[in-house]
Chain A
């Protein structure tokens, strides 16, 4: 598996990362280096092995249906560049 310049540009756009054109080629080379290194794992025979989702062996912990949080407007809005009347305010995003 390898990626080309076009794929790198697409991934960057999906991740909202601004990558200048001249960086696309070198970035593709770096990513391919990583992908090739990881591809060594393809040599391991994983027939009849269940995908491993966790090494801890724990089950997903669950909590009861009780309201224990909320009503902390100041905390929630403490980092906003702009707020008004308890809302986050952002540049207009409308379809």
Chain B
């Protein structure tokens, strides 16, 4: 699959790297005892440390450190037993300290990798460069007053993990697959809730273009994208913009850009020539952070089974397609549902029913798996009825719709409505004879060489049976009657 973009003067290769900010799931903040919960009244979850009152000292939350280590282990990354906190200096109204405590030179997690699965089932490994812990900033509201901004420090000091990828992605679709997979791993691990709408997960996107195989182009960074759709739109816009500038003989400025969700376009941030001069230095309030190999080992042994492991199992043991396996394992709840529904059933058939019918019905009704009217056991029961020939796949769709509507069991509905598949060859033969007798002209045409009419006869027989005739048997008996006679 080629991801090259064709411009006016030839093909271009897109190079994408992502910096994802993921809010650590914890009760308290990274360096203070204030609550990290979302949705409180303004400045309610603020301690004097967060407000940067003089003389306040930060004390690190051990659980946030462990969450970062768990995430690092989930990304198969190197865990650095010694890491250092630095001050990243800049002035903004929602940053009372005048600096963000972050990790610059010595992050807690080093290189790792993450495997993405594309829609065609192909996989790619995306390199992780590092993961470090840092403080979130507060929230500024600019729409409350014509000349003032309102500041809420509830987010100030909440722990974030910044997860930096290598520039290994080559299309907007790969970038979206990367974020989706990263979110999935974080949610399996329970280290971030992955809620993009609330801002628990947001991405900065670095994009450049180059001639295939040529030297890297100049990149731009588009900040703070909080949905998969915006990430893809921002990349597509940025790629088109950069190619046009270069093909017109211009050059790309290395700059920070903003994505306008209303127009779908990126635009340059008001010129901030000093914006990147953060003057990092080790925070004198914090000693180097030491964790022991024993601690890391204990965290590693308590990790849950991760999506890639489950995916390998579903493909290896159950024979699912790469894509079905990826879809089913994206969310822990989905994987659990599948395991329960397919236990003792035709695993592949259950996967089909889940990814097509069940997800379709959930989507359409705006429901989630959590409040799904069909329990995993009941979906398994339905698939069981198909497997043992009690009902046909077509009838099963009606039964499914009924189950989704009422929450009843599959067998109960089949009994109630008399939907049992007719597998009695005598009964089917009678039906076929009726259909052939009623359509003698078409029978003659068929025998005269119009092979395609076979489908018509199958359709008629199925219709006469109210969809209940066993389609395999109809085919077989029809074939022998039409061709054999």
Q: In whole angstroms, what is the CA distance A72 to B61 when docked?
A: 21
Q: Taking A59-B287, A72-B46, A87-B141 as contacts, is the C-beta distance between A64 and B152 under 8 angstroms? A: no
Describe B's contact surface by its main secondary structure. loop
Q: Which of A56-73 contact B (CB under 8 A)?
A: 56, 58-73
A19 within 8 A of B: no
A22 contacts across to B, CB distance below 8 A:
none
CB pair B148–A91 under 8 Å, yes or no, is: yes
- In the assembled complex, how far is the CB of residue B93 from the closest CB belonging to chain A, in whole angstroms? 5
- In the assembled complex, how far is the CB of residue A17 from the closest CB belonging to chain B, in whole angstroms? 11
A43 within 8 A of B: no
Q: In whole angstroms, what is the CA distance A80 to B84 when docked?
A: 33
Least CB separation from A88: chain B residue? B151
CB pair B26–A65 under 8 Å, yes or no, is: yes
B401 contacts across to A, CB distance below 8 A:
none
B190 within 8 A of A: no
Q: In whole angstroms, what is the CA distance A10 to B147 when docked?
A: 29
Chain B residues bordering chain A, tally (CB within 8 A): 54
A53 within 8 A of B: yes
A93 contacts across to B, CB distance below 8 A:
92-93, 140, 142, 149
- In the assembled complex, how far is the CB of residue A26 from the closest CB belonging to chain B, in whole angstroms? 23
B287 contacts across to A, CB distance below 8 A:
53-54, 56, 58-60
Q: Which of A12-54 contact B (CB under 8 A)?
A: 13-14, 16, 53-54
Binary interface encoding of chain B residues 48-63 relative to chain A, with 1 for a CB under 8 A from any of its CBs, else 0: 1101000000011111
Counted as pairs of residues, one from A and one from B, with CB atoms less than 8 Å apart, the total is: 135
B459 within 8 A of A: no
CB pair B33–A61 under 8 Å, yes or no, is: no
Where the two chains meet, the residues of A that have a C-beta atom closer than 8 Å to any C-beta of B are 10, 13-14, 16, 53-54, 56, 58-73, 75-77, 82, 84-95
CB pair B147–A92 under 8 Å, yes or no, is: yes
Q: Taking A53-B288, A88-B150 as contacts, is the C-beta distance between A10 and B274 under 8 angstroms? A: yes
Q: Which of B25-78 contact A (CB under 8 A)?
A: 26-28, 32-35, 41-49, 51, 59-65
B269 within 8 A of A: yes
A91 contacts across to B, CB distance below 8 A:
147-149
28 pairs, CB–CB < 8 Å, chain A vs chain B: A53-B84, A62-B65, A63-B33, A65-B61, A65-B63, A66-B33, A67-B28, A68-B33, A69-B33, A69-B47, A69-B49, A70-B47, A73-B46, A75-B48, A76-B43, A84-B150, A87-B150, A88-B152, A88-B153, A89-B145, A89-B150, A89-B151, A91-B147, A91-B149, A92-B145, A92-B146, A93-B140, A95-B258
A13 contacts across to B, CB distance below 8 A:
274
Q: In whole angstroms, what is the CA distance A61 to B287 when docked?
A: 8
B65 contacts across to A, CB distance below 8 A:
62
